[in-house]
Amino acid sequence: MGENFSYPETLSDLAGKSYLKQIWEIAWPTSISMLLFSLYDLIDLKWIGFLGTEAVASVSLCGNINGVLFGLMNILYIGSLAVFTRFIGAGEQAKLRHSFHQSIFLGALIGLLLFVIGWLTAPLLLGFFHLSSQVYHLSLVYLRIFYIFFFFLFLGIPLWTAWIALGKTWLLLIVNLISVGFNLILDPVFIFPRGEMLVGVFGWGVAGAAIASLLSEILSLLILLGLLKRKDFMVKSPVFKNFKVSFRESLRILRIGIPSSIAVLSRPMSTVILQRFITGFGASALAGFGIGLRWLGINWIFFGGISAAVSSLVGRYLGARLGEKAGAMMRRAYLLGVVIQFLVSLFFILWAEPLVAVMEPTPETIQAGSAFLIWVSVAMLLSSPGNIARACLNGAGNTNPPMVISIISNWVVKLPLAWALAYPLKVGLSGIWQAMFVSLVVEGALLLAWYFRGRWKEHKI
């Protein structure tokens, strides 16, 4: 066990702790943070549900489009995390400071590019889906406001990645509690007109929900900047001493982060195209799919926490040249991940219909959303070990294999199979859910197979 080993000074905070405790101390604050955001997302969708099916459909569509942009976060998050943890484990403060500076530079650059490109191309992107006039206009306003949101989000990525690299995720939990609470207060105030829902003031509808999210993200960034003054921050004060741009170090972060981002993006990008198939079955099918995805966000609460812990610990162990200890820790991570996934999948299978109905009670939406939840819940249980393996490979900076595997499962397997089952074979909407099931299981199996090759322990960043 972890407590029987004499840890080097760079890993002294892990001394006396079992591997499960090492994972849990990082995972639980991250999981609660993600739970807060998932609950907020569900409450946000519930508020929007009072505006009608078209409003729910537009926000559901934009949520999946934004999922592509959230996937781009991994360019910076995984690249920075792999580099930060290696240098923390090795005790190389000068290199750590230099990498942190380049991560800040990349966050500003990527965020600005996303804003400009997204704002200009939003009408063309939405035109791809052949939406009704009302859904199109609601989606355009919502989407453009969120492109501003992403600029501030990317500025903050290096700040919260640093705390994950240190394993001090409880600080991020406090930041997220404040940010999400602020968002929940603003939402109904901005969405509903004066006199509605007791606290309505502005009546901006779907746009109001997006503005509330933007203001909350700005608040989160300001708090994270304030935390740089803490003595336990990974870069010693003054944090921005000798700040200068280094394209070589920036390319190192990008070289690790881009494959990871492509791997993560493969699913939401293919899902955007998948939605084109789903729209052929009507607005209720699209709404049910969007509601189901939001409920599934609860699943990633737990796996997000475990993944953050695994990536952080693997990177720090490898930085300290303790690859065998990283492997021992991974065995506990697999056990924990499978047990948690079983419980979560069972919950979704048993409560699929009520979970969809509480958001949008029309029978067509309930039927579509509950079938989607059941198929994907079973698939997630079968593929859960693969998701733990992905986190390990990311922490090691070995991000090319997960990228290739994700492309195969989502583009070679999911999309062609979904189209074939839904239309030529006339299975209908259920065929799309079945194709998603197959792709998730294939992806999980391939990731696990690559992990057991063991090459990640010697991977150089």
The 10s digit of each residue's pLDDT in 114-124 is: 899 989 988 88
Distance, CA of 243 to CA of 363 (rounded, Å): 58
- Angle, in degrees to the nearest 10, between helices 205-227 and 169-191: 150
CA distances from 313 to 167, 258, 307, 328, 368 (A): 8, 21, 10, 11, 40
Assess whether pLDDT exceeds 90 at residue 134.
Answer: no
Per-residue burial over 89-120, b = 16 or more CB atoms within 10 Å of its CB, e = otherwise:
bbeeeeebbbbbbbbbbbbeebbeebbeebee
pTM, 2 dp: 0.82
Sign of the C-alpha dihedral, residues 423, 429, 434, 436? positive
User: Are 285 and 366 in contact, with CB atoms under 8 Å apart?
Assistant: no
Assess whether pLDDT exceeds 80 at residue 38.
Answer: no
Distance, CA of 157 to CA of 162 (rounded, Å): 9
Q: What are phi and psi of 453, to 5 degrees?
A: -70, -25
- What is the Cα 59 distance to its own chain's centre? 18
Per-residue burial over 243-265, b = 16 or more CB atoms within 10 Å of its CB, e = otherwise:
eeeeeebbebbbebbbbbbbbbb
Report residue 8's pLDDT band, with 50, 70 and 90 as the boundaries: confident
Range of the domain at 324: 2-458
Query: In the numeric block, which tokens belong to residue 311?
Result: 């990536």
Report residue 382's pLDDT band, with 50, 70 and 90 as the boundaries: very high
Compute the mean pLDDT over every residue in the chain, rounded to the nearest whole number.
88
Domain count, the chain: 1
Helix then strand then coil, in percent of the chain rounded to 5, is 85, 0, 15
3-class secondary structure per residue, 338-364: HHHHHHHHHHHHHCHHHHHHCCCCCHH
SS3 193: strand
The 10s digit of each residue's pLDDT in 390-430 is: 999 999 999 999 999 999 999 999 999 999 999 999 898 99
